[in-house]
Amino acid sequence: MNEYSYELIKKGLDMSSLRQRTTSSNIANANTPNYKVNKVEFEEFLKEAGDKLALKTTHERHIGPKKDVEAVVKKRESTTFNENGNNVDIDYEMTELAANEIYYSVLISQLNARLMNLNYVINK
C-alpha cells in the first residue's frame, strides 16, 4: 500500500467520523427552534485529489501529490423550514447516517485488505 492511498483512506475515515457527529447533532436538534442543519462536504475534494494523483503519476512507483484533503462543514440551505424555524428532516438525516455507515464499512474493508496484503508479504 503506498503512502498516498493510506492517507486518502485515513482522511475518508476522519471525514466519516465528522459526518457521523454532524448528522447526530442534526438529529438531536430536530426540535430546537431556528436550528439550521449542518452538512459535511468531502467527496468532491477527495475526487479532486484522486484525479490529480492519476494525472501526476508517470511511473508506477510514483506516489503522487501531497495535497491536503479536508472536510468542510457548511449549513444546508436547500431544505424547507419546519414550524419551529429549523430545517431538520429526520428521514433525510437517518438516510445520511445509514449511507455514512456503509461508507465507513467500505473504507475499513479496504484498509483491512491492504494491511492483510502487507502482512502476507512481510511474513512470507
Q: What are the domain boundaries of the chain?
A: 3-123
Task: Render pLDDT for 40-84 as a digit per residue (tens, 0 to 9).
Answer: 987 666 666 555 555 455 666 555 544 566 778 888 877 777 888
Pairing of strands 38-41, 72-75: antiparallel
User: What separation in angstroms does the CA of 30 have from each of 72, 74, 86, 91, 117?
Assistant: 22, 17, 7, 11, 44
Task: Give the pTM.
Answer: 0.73
Is the pLDDT at 34 greater than 50? The verdict is yes
